[in-house]
Amino acid sequence: MSLLETLAEQEERLVFTSFDNDVALALGAFLLDAARARGLPVTISVRRGAQRLFHAALPGTSADNDEWIDRKSRVVDRYARSSYRVGETFRANGRTFEEDSRLDPDRYAAHGGVFPVNVVGVGMVGTVGVSGLPQAEDHAFVVEQLEKFLAGT
């Protein structure tokens, strides 16, 4: 399975049955606990639409990580796909998101770490993401935690 196929499969599989403020807060706390347990220097964000419902910044992060999450979240909002998948789609086609998307790179970043929150029968309702690690690691951490969180709900 190619990386793009894997990324698409993750988005099809990691779907919520419902998503409200309580679920968002529980998800954010779940990611926070996992990041703390590993000593990861990440910023965590969970949003529903444009509203940020959970935000935490662990030691080793800065305001730059907040900006990265915002930029990656805009990509997910626009494409309804993970920020990593969007960037990888451009790369697989021999292009770069920064040059070929025609979007302002100061506002959009197709780097791994933000994932769409999809609800069965509804579609995308928000985003969950981290910033602070290399992009593949940011993405892998979010996916791993979503798998565990969804298995327990």
Q: What is the pLDDT of residues 103-136, one digit of tens each?
A: 999 999 999 999 999 999 999 999 999 999 999 9
Q: How many other β-carbons are positioned within 10 Å of the β-carbon of residue 131?
A: 29
Domain-wise residue ranges, the chain = 3-151
The CATH number of 3-151, from 3.20.20.70, 3.40.50.970, 3.30.360.10, 3.30.450.150, is: 3.30.450.150
Closest CA to 65 of 35, 99, 38: 35
- Is residue 93 very low, low, confident or very high in pLDDT (cuts 50, 70, 90)? very high
Q: Are 67 and 43 in contact (CB under 8 A)?
A: no
**What is the reported pLDDT for 3?**
95
**What is the reported pLDDT for 1?**
83
